[in-house]
């Protein structure tokens, strides 16, 4: 796993956008896994700006979002479909038919979860999965305790996650209790993973991810076993880890080492891939 340290949210968003655009130029038919929440908003702004300024095309791109709230239709402005349309898809030349999210208003949510997993598997691997990190270690809506071998499923959201997401709804009471989410095994099936982490509120979670053991009580810990996972984290998110991880390696290795030497000026560090859990 590669850990790239950047100054702040804006820099994280720019570097993440460069990363995605580079992959897209290499593979115009790329299958992107998309996340929602606050974290990727800046990334999506940067992608739109690049599309407008440089004409990067999404005509042949397919997207698969991680999750959707149960009970919300795509027209509901709190739905993740609405979020993706208004924050990205409506502003680039992507074919909406190629943008996929679970249907939150499906009559049978369990059948919908199964159908969504099949859609992902039938399309082949997601090439690059973008992730945010929940304060309790959730990825997608996979809450602590979710089996690592889970596929797309219906989940009861924890109070911690509903409380964290109340900021989007105005009140905790309005936050749905359930969602459909890609499972952990679905996420881990992606060719490559890009985890974005910003802000002091995520620093405990990020240090637990990097330093502590892999366990289902902290879903994001599984990312340490992925062969091609990168974290881009800002200084605030790295405040606990900084001294422990970056402080413990020679500056030269930390700044210019590893596979990431081409992103000059940003600290990067290879965290060994772990293969035992």
Identity of the residue, 34 or 255, whose beta carbon is nearer to ligand F6P in the bound complex: 34
| Minimum separation from the CB atom of position 55 to ligand F6P (A) | 29
Distance CA 111, CA 119 (A): 12
Q: Which positions from 164 to 183 touch ligand F6P by CB under 6 A, shown as an x/- string? A: -x------------------
**DSSP secondary structure string for all residues of 21-41:** HHHHHH-TT-EEEE--SSTTH
38-67 positions binding ligand F6P, by CB under 6 A: 38-39, 67
Q: Which positions from 123 to 152 touch ligand F6P by CB under 6 A, shown as an x/- string? A: ---------xxx---x-xx-----------
Q: Is 162 in the site for ligand F6P (CB under 6 A)?
A: no
The two tokens of residue 277 are: 């859990």
The residues annotated as belonging to the active site are: 67, 136, 138, 143
* Number of residues binding to ligand F6P, judged by CB under 6 A: 13
Find the distance separating the first CA and the last CA of the chain, reported in whole Å.
15
| CA 101 from centroid of its chain's CA atoms | 14
**DSSP secondary structure string for all residues of 40-79:** THHHHHHHHHHHHHH----TT-EEEESEEETT--TTSTTS
| Minimum separation from the CB atom of position 13 to ligand F6P (A) | 12
Q: Is 35 in the site for ligand F6P (CB under 6 A)?
A: yes
Q: Which of 156, 69, 68, 153 is nearest to 115 (CA)?
A: 153
Q: What's the chain's Rg over C-alpha atoms?
A: 18
| Minimum separation from the CB atom of position 275 to ligand F6P (A) | 26
Identity of the residue, 44 or 141, whose beta carbon is nearer to ligand F6P in the bound complex: 141
Residue carrying structure tokens 């892999």: 214
Candidate segments 32-40, 51-59, 87-95, 265-273, binder of ligand F6P by CB under 6 A: 32-40
Kindly list the residues in this chain that would bind ligand F6P in the complex (CB under 6 A). 35-39, 67, 132-134, 138, 140-141, 165
């Amino acid at each position: 796993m590669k850990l790239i340290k950047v100054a702040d949210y804006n820099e994280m968003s720019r570097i993440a956008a460069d990363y995605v655009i580079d992959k897209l130029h290499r593979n115009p038919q790329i299958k992107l896994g998309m996340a929602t929440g606050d974290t990727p908003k800046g990334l999506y702004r940067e992608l739109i700006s690049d599309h407008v300024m440089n004409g990067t095309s999404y005509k042949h791109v397919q997207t698969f979002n991680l999750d959707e709230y149960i009970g919300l239709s795509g027209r509901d402005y709190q739905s993740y479909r609405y979020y993706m349309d208004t924050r990205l898809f409506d502003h680039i030349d992507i074919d909406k038919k190629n943008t996929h999210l679970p249907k939150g208003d499906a009559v049978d949510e369990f059948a919908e979860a199964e159908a969504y997993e099949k859609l992902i598997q039938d399309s082949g691997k997601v090439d690059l999965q973008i992730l945010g990190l929940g304060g309790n270690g959730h990825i997608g809506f996979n809450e602590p305790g979710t089996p690592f071998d889970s596929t797309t499923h219906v989940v009861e959201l924890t109070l911690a996650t509903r409380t964290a997401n109340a900021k989007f709804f105005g009140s905790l009471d309005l936050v749905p209790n359930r969602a459909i989410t890609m499972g952990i095994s679905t996420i881990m099936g992606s060719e490559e993973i890009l985890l974005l982490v910003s802000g002091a509120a995520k620093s405990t979670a990020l240090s637990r991810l990097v330093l502590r053991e892999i366990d289902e009580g902290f879903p994001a810990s599984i990312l340490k076993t992925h062969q091609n996972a990168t974290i881009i984290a800002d200084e605030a998110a790295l405040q606990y880890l900084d001294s422990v991880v970056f402080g413990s390696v020679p500056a030269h290795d930390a700044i210019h080492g590893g596979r990431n030497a081409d992103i000059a000026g940003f600290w990067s560090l290879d965290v060994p891939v772990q293969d035992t859990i």
